[in-house]
Amino acid sequence: MMKLHDLEFKPFIKAEEIEKTVARLVGEIAEDLKDEVPVFVGILNGSFMFVSDFVKAYPKPCEVTFIKLASYEGVKSTDDIQRLIGLTQDLTGRTVVVLEDIIDSGKTLAEVHRIFKNERVKALKIATLFYKPEAYKKDFKLHYVGIEIPTKFIVGYGLDYNGLGRDLPEVYQLKTTQHMTNLVLFGPPGAGKGTQAEFLKEKYNLVHISTGDVFRYNIKNETALGMLAKSFMDKGQLVPDHVTIDMLNAEVEKNTDANGFIFDGFPRTNAQAEALDKLMEEKDSQIDGMIALEVDDEVLVKRLLERGKTSGRTDDADENIIRNRITEYYKKTAILKEFYSAQDKFYGVDGVGSIEEITQRLSKVIDAL
């Protein structure tokens, strides 16, 4: 995640992919132009980085020059006209390749064609590193296209948002969804996680995703993912993370109008926590906090033994089994506590007290996220 001025951006195209694309464009153009000495014309400011990397990789002699898009006030001061300026070289008889950083609506490209109309160039070719096909409104031919991207605002590798971001070696995309609050809820058996999740879900309009419930639902309804999960369980194997993540993804997709999610029972490993971060990022969102309800072991044992008496749950009847489950919980969650602490997202909340007291403590944490 990255903030420029008032907007948030997320990683979109890595430096290596840009490098590969530039190399491909260089290859295509060099092959087409054979032994001609082309004039590469960059459109400033955005294309400076692309042009620089492009000509460094160009295997044969070439010339490089730049023109710049400048705003003029039109006849009426309200219409802002963009003009290309700075073409001073005589290009008669030359093969010109315009290197654009990005083609969006094609307005700039129309201006390129306008200024070259009276130049007696031998050929005018257009190359663009990024191209937004759905936004493109003109029908000038694009001879060389690097990467097609959706109609979303990007920054980096020469492209800016209000002056910032041009220096970044990779490309970021504007985050567009509204802010969600996504929590990972933890707590040892008997900490009151289920009860608190019910309250939080109401209070913040969150969707409670309990992995156990999601599994049972998918298996009971024999969904494709449910059957897949079951095939592993029947063999006594753990369900692979990608299957679990696909199920969670389906739950998230079903609830696109939610203010956020409470993940319960997931993640359990570092790999799962990373997978969850990735899933959230794909939704232009993030995990905001991992909240762990903290309750002293002796209190838990007492609570669970009480619950065992009334609920008849056999795993709540034996003190040794209870203590083992608690020990297991701490063993397993220690890594996750580290994972989220490293991101400054771990919040321990005292889970001893009345239900309302604990809800209040949780709310204080959530309100401050």
Please list the active-site residues: 193, 268, 307, 313, 325
| Piece in contact with Mg ion (CB under 5 A), picked from 44-52, 232-240, 242-250, 288-296 | 44-52
Tokens found for residue 223:
């969904």
Among 29, 38, 42, 46, binds Mg ion (CB under 5 A): 46
What is the contact mask toward Mg ion in residues 96 to 125, using x (rule: CB under 5 A)?
-----x------------------------
| Residue whose CB is less far from ligand IMP, 153 or 199 | 153
Torsion of CA 144, 148, 149, 155, to 10 degrees: -30
| In the complex, minimum distance from the CB of residue 11 to ligand IMP, in angstroms, rounded to a whole number | 15
- Nearer to ligand IMP by C-beta: 151 or 195? 151
Distance (Å, rounded) from C-alpha 215 to C-alpha 218? 5
d(CA 215, CA 220): 8
The nearest distance, CB 241 to ligand IMP, in angstroms, is 34
C-alpha to C-alpha distances, 354 to 44, 222, 305, 351, nearest whole angstrom: 64, 40, 18, 9
Closer residue to Mg ion in complex, CB, 46/165? 46
Q: How far apart are CA 131 and CA 21, in angstroms?
A: 13
Residue 103 binds: one of Mg ion, ligand IMP, none (C-beta under 5 to 8 A by kind): ligand IMP
Nearest residue to 294 via CA among 367, 214, 365, 208: 365
DSSP annotation string for 149-214: --SS-EEBTTB-BTTBSTT-SSEEEE--SPP---EEEE--TTS-HHHHHHHHHHHHT-EEEEHHHH
Which residues bind to ligand IMP, rule: CB under 6 A? 46, 101-109, 153-155, 159
In the complex, minimum distance from the CB of residue 125 to ligand IMP, in angstroms, rounded to a whole number? 17
| Beta carbon nearer to Mg ion, 101 or 264 | 101
CB-CB contact of 193 with 187 (8 Å): yes
Smallest separation, CB 101 to Mg ion (Å): 5
Tell me which residues touch Mg ion (CB under 5 A).
43, 46, 101
